[in-house]
Chains A and B, each alone.
Chain A
Amino acid sequence: NAGVTQTPKFQVLKTGQSMTLQCAQDMNHNSMYWYRQDPGMGLRLIYYSASEGTTDKGEVPNGYNVSRLNKREFSLRLESAAPSQTSVYFCASSVMGSGNTIYFGEGSWLTVV
């Protein structure tokens, strides 16, 4: 039982390049989330998916797109990376809604130069 697995763990991108962060959970959770974490700003919600087939914007969605491929997988895409998107990205999942325990992946360190 791996929990929440996200890849890659580290990535360096040039400004304007695109990339996709992959996330999968094996806990049969309905809800999945993408957060970014920056020093002094806690975790900010980028997008979330309350259930398979639905996605909604969070606090900071600009510059990102998401796909809930199936119940297990929720990917985050940067179409044209900018230095402001340098951050640590966390994928998370929960049984149903954020009132339940949320389980986080180990994070993906992204640097845009």
Chain B
Amino acid sequence: TQLLEQSPQFLSIQEGENLTVYCNSSSVFSSLQWYRQEPGEGPVLLVTVVTGGEVKKLKRLTFQFGDARKDSSLHITAAQPGDTGLYLCAGSNTGKLIFGQGTTLQVKP
């Protein structure tokens, strides 16, 4: 069974702070994706990383795929209230997409 462990599960910070969310597994994935989900809606893809060591930036969000393709991180710089939501990592292998349990982020004004 491929498991993806996300940490922390909950994070409450003040506007302007930086934060990092981690996604770890003992399995190797061919690609890893990060999604953001708002209440009452389905997850929406933020980024896909496919190469070990790859770093992608999306405005204030930086995503990194581990060299061994077993882990990933999401770093948010100067968080804003609009960043509030559930962040999910998902690893792809053998045709299936397996999700971590998610990190609930609350950014207070």
Contacts and interface: CB of A to CB of B under 8 A. Distances in A.
Interface of A: 4, 31, 33, 35, 40-45, 48, 50, 56, 58-59, 90, 92, 97-99, 101-107
B109 interface: no
A22 B31 CA distance: 29
Which 7 pairs, one residue from A and one from B, show the smallest C-beta to C-beta distance? A104-B42, A98-B97, A42-B101, A43-B99, A42-B99, A98-B92, A99-B31
A112 B1 CA distance: 28
Nearest to A44: B99
B27 to A, nearest CB: 13
Contacts of B97: 33, 45, 98, 102
Contacts, number: 64
Interface of B: 1, 4, 6, 9, 30-31, 33, 40-45, 48, 50, 88, 90, 92, 95-102
A74 to B, nearest CB: 15
B102 A92 contact: no
B48 A106 contact: no
Nearest to B1: A59
Contacts of A50: 95
B99 A48 contact: no
A106 B92 contact: no
A35 B90 CA distance: 13
Contact of A41 (B30, B33, B44, B101): B101
Nearest to A50: B95
B43 A43 contact: yes
A42 B96 contact: no
